[in-house]
Structure 1
Amino acid sequence: MATREQYIDKLEKQLREWNQQIDTLQEKAQGESEEIKTKISDRLEELKARRSELNEKLDRIKDSGEETFEKIKEDAEVLWKDVKEGFSEVRSILKG
């Protein structure tokens, strides 16, 4: 089980990676049809919102104690999963 500090490091690293992936996917979408661009744009906006929520959870984790950390971590894990699935969906649209 990851400690609070390990979890913070892991989440910060993942958020940085997702920022880069969003930029890359936006660039790839430029060469696609308008329909695909719209689908991808809408989905990326959702991902950005989820990423922002996750960033807020990260800030709360940083300010929390161990007991509160576990509760916030559970919420963050749900968001994490949603974001990962969203990226998979965007990649499949691009491959489509």
Structure 2
Amino acid sequence: MSDESRSARDAYVEKTKAKLDEWNAEIDKLQAKADAAQADAKIEYQKQLEEMREQRDEAEAKLKELRGASDAAWDDMKAGFDKAWDSLSSAFRNARSRFD
């Protein structure tokens, strides 16, 4: 793999890690909202938070797989990761929207 390709790969991984950090911050913020909610709303918020955490955990696992991909497998792994990321992002946004 050329230095340029490796640099692009590293940038892609760092960008994805930054997005996961945003998700973590969002989960923390919503956890505080859930903690302050009334009992009936709190139960629903906890369900949504759990769903968001599951999406985040799955995305982190996929990123770990991607980071461990060999140079030869990178392109195929990235294509699969992009599809999974789109699905996970959509599910995360859907769970997040239920807090509004």
TM-score by structure 2 length? 0.72
Q: Higher relative contact order by CA 8 Å / sep ≥ 6: 1 or 2? A: 1
Gaps of 5+ in 2: 1-7
- Please name the residue that 1:56 is paired with: 61
Does structure 1 conserve the Cα–Cα contact (< 8 Å) formed by 2:59 and 2:88? no
- Which among 83, 88, 97 is matched to residue 92 of structure 1? 97
* Aligned residue type for 2:39: E
Does structure 1 conserve the Cα–Cα contact (< 8 Å) formed by 2:51 and 2:92? no
Gaps of 5+ in 1: none
Does structure 2 conserve the Cα–Cα contact (< 8 Å) formed by 1:47 and 1:83? no
- Which among 46, 52, 68 is matched to residue 47 of structure 1? 52
Distance 1:89 1:35 in 2: 20
Does structure 1 conserve the Cα–Cα contact (< 8 Å) formed by 2:34 and 2:45? yes
Residue 16 in 1 paired to residue 21 in 2?
Answer: yes
Distance 2:30 2:89 in 1: 14
Kindly report the root-mean-square deviation, in angstroms, between the aligned alpha carbons of the 2 structures.
Answer: 2.3
* Aligned residue type for 1:5: D
Aligned-pair identity in percent equals: 28
1:37-83 Cα offsets, whole Å, 9 max, x none, are 22221121122122112111211211113442233333333443344
Residue 81 in 1 paired to residue 93 in 2?
Answer: no
Residue 34 in 1 paired to residue 39 in 2?
Answer: yes
Distance 2:48 2:18 in 1: 22
| TM-superposed deviation, 1:23 | 0.4
Larger Rg: 2
Count of matched residue pairs: 94
TM-score by structure 1 length? 0.74
